[in-house]
């Protein structure tokens, strides 16, 4: 009997061990490793005697980013910082790799103008793990709580200025006629483009509602009017299709609201090649690119929105110096700096999906044939050489 009982006990013991074992978390095997930790780049930047600024720009194709990169480098180097400047050819992976490289090279601060604002979350987690503060430059970086600040222009106001120009030139406040407009919006992955579009649309909507403004193509939404990579060619092709489909044989078009100068170049080329009416079409833009300054002087483009990029880099450098000291400023950055331009501090409007990003916003300016000399040449932003050709002052 005893033998039977002990046998039962042994079997029970074995069974208990077997089942108990199945409740104990098995030793992690390779494929079931612990949750992925962000690769912490060794904290090379804190005590190596250098103060390194990592600057990541979208590309060199759009004229403005070359200026931004040059201004930022000059402003930081003037203050004795070492600068790493990377351009990304408008490729997300190139930008991510470039940012990672700069962290490894010891960047103490990152200044990033995103190619795609929603594509940097992982690499910014590496920056966080390496205690590197991050300034989103000009374009808000989305879906990341690692972004410390955003420095840009009031992007919604850019769209408002473009729309106000159209209202004025088409006399929408007083005309009895119905006017016709088409939209050419920006890159759908550029968060700014949505603000430009919304500012313009909100300003023009009352005129659509009272029938004073129509779009014969019916293309009024952001995505259906957007232009991948701000491409001049894509803007031109899309508008050529619209002109041939909806404005043939002298059907009049009164305005094309383009979100920036590279798309405005495409619109002007489409109007030159495929628009058959004799009337002048009001074309808007943004960035005061040199080719578009010529078009404004000649009259094929009506206006551009000028953003004094030097101001954007001055604010970024002033903010960067606070962050390098571990100080996270508010309004006091503006009052404590010798800014000779208007700058506002915004803590409500720029929700990047993870946090409301504190932002410093600058004022965009409408430039037309009437004020181009004062705003662009007398201000020293542009010069003419002896042949009369325009170039951007350093």
B/e letters for 345-360, b = 16+ CB within 10 Å, e = fewer, are: beeeebebeeeebbbb
The answer to whether the CB of 160 falls within 8 A of the CB of 365 is no
The answer to whether the CB of 324 falls within 8 A of the CB of 45 is no
User: What is the x/- site pattern for ligand GAL, positions 218-237, by CB under 6 A?
Assistant: ------------x-------
The residue nearest ligand GAL at its CB is: 192
Half-sphere exposure of 231 (CA within 13 A, CB side): 14
Q: Which of 51, 262, 295, 366 binds ligand GAL (CB under 6 A)?
A: 262
Q: Which is nearer to ligand GAL, 258 or 282 (CB)?
A: 258
Residues 20 and 56: their CA atoms lie apart, in Å, by: 54
Please report whether residue 201 would count as binding ligand GAL according to CB under 6 A.
no
User: What is the x/- site pattern for ligand GAL, positions 118-157, by CB under 6 A?
Assistant: --------------------xx------------------
Q: DSSP labels for 238-303? A: HHHHHHHHHS-TT----EEEESSHHHHHHHHHHHHHH----S--EE--SS--HHHHHHHHHTSS-E
Please report whether residue 192 would count as binding ligand GAL according to CB under 6 A.
yes
Q: Which of 144, 260, 295, 359 binds ligand GAL (CB under 6 A)?
A: 260
Q: Which of 116, 164, 190, 254 binds ligand GAL (CB under 6 A)?
A: 190
Q: Which of 286, 304, 313, 316 binds ligand GAL (CB under 6 A)?
A: 286
- Closest approach of ligand GAL to the CB of residue 261, in Å: 7
- Closest approach of ligand GAL to the CB of residue 206, in Å: 26
- Closest approach of ligand GAL to the CB of residue 152, in Å: 7
- Closest approach of ligand GAL to the CB of residue 287, in Å: 5
The answer to whether the CB of 296 falls within 8 A of the CB of 304 is yes
- Closest approach of ligand GAL to the CB of residue 159, in Å: 11
Locate 209 and state its tokens: 């509602």
- Closest approach of ligand GAL to the CB of residue 57, in Å: 11
Locate 53 and state its tokens: 């600024």
In the chain, where do the E strands start and end? 52-57, 82-87, 109-112, 134-137, 149-153, 179-184, 213-214, 255-258, 282-283, 303-306, 343-346, 359-362, 365-368, 382-384, 390-392
Q: Which of 45, 238, 307, 310 binds ligand GAL (CB under 6 A)?
A: 307
User: What is the x/- site pattern for ligand GAL, positions 56-75, by CB under 6 A?
Assistant: ------x-x-----------
**What is the helix, strand, coil percentage profile of the chain, to 5?**
45, 15, 40
CA 298 to chain centre: 29
- Closest approach of ligand GAL to the CB of residue 245, in Å: 27
Question: What are the residues binding ligand GAL (CB under 6 A)?
Answer: 62, 64, 138-139, 190, 192, 230, 260, 262, 286-287, 307
């Amino acid at each position: 009997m005893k033998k039977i009982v002990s046998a039962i006990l042994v079997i029970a013991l074995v069974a208990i061990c077997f089942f108990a074992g199945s409740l104990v978390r098995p030793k992690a095997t390779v494929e079931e490793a612990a949750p992925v930790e962000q690769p912490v780049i060794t904290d090379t930047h804190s005590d190596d005697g250098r103060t390194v600024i990592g600057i990541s720009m979208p590309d060199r194709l759009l004229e403005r980013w070359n200026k931004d990169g040059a201004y930022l480098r000059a402003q930081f180097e003037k203050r004795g910082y070492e600068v790493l400047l990377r351009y990304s050819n408008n490729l997300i992976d190139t930008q991510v790799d470039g940012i990672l490289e700069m962290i490894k090279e010891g960047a103490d601060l990152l200044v990033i103008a995103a190619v795609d604002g929603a594509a940097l979350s992982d690499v910014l987690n590496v920056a966080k793990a390496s205690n590197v503060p991050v300034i989103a430059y000009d374009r808000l970086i989305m879906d990341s709580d690692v972004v410390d600040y955003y420095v840009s222009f009031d992007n919604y106001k850019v769209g408002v200025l473009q729309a106000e120009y159209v209202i004025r030139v088409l006399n929408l406040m007083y005309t009895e006629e119905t006017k016709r407009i088409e939209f050419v919006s920006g890159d759908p992955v550029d968060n700014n483009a949505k603000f430009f579009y919304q500012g313009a649309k909100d300003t023009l909507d009352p005129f659509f509602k009272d029938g004073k403004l129509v779009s014969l193509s019916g293309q009024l939404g952001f995505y259906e009017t957007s232009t991948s990579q701000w491409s001049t060619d894509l803007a031109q092709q899309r508008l050529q299709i619209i002109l041939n489909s909806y404005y043939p044989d002298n059907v009049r078009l009164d305005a094309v609201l383009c979100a920036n100068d590279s798309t405005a170049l495409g619109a002007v080329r489409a109007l030159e090649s495929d628009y058959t009416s004799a009337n002048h079409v009001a074309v808007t833009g943004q960035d005061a690119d040199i080719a578009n300054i010529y078009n404004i002087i000649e009259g094929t483009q009506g206006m551009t929105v000028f953003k004094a990029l030097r101001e954007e880099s001055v604010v970024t450098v002033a903010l960067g110096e606070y962050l390098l000291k571990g100080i996270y400023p508010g309004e006091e950055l503006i009052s404590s700096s010798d800014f000779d331009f208007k700058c506002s501090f915004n803590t409500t409007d720029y929700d990047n999906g993870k946090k409301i990003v504190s932002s410093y916003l600058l004022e965009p300016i409408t430039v037309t044939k009437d004020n181009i000399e004062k705003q662009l040449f007398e201000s020293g932003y542009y010069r003419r050489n002896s042949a009369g050709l325009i170039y951007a002052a350093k």
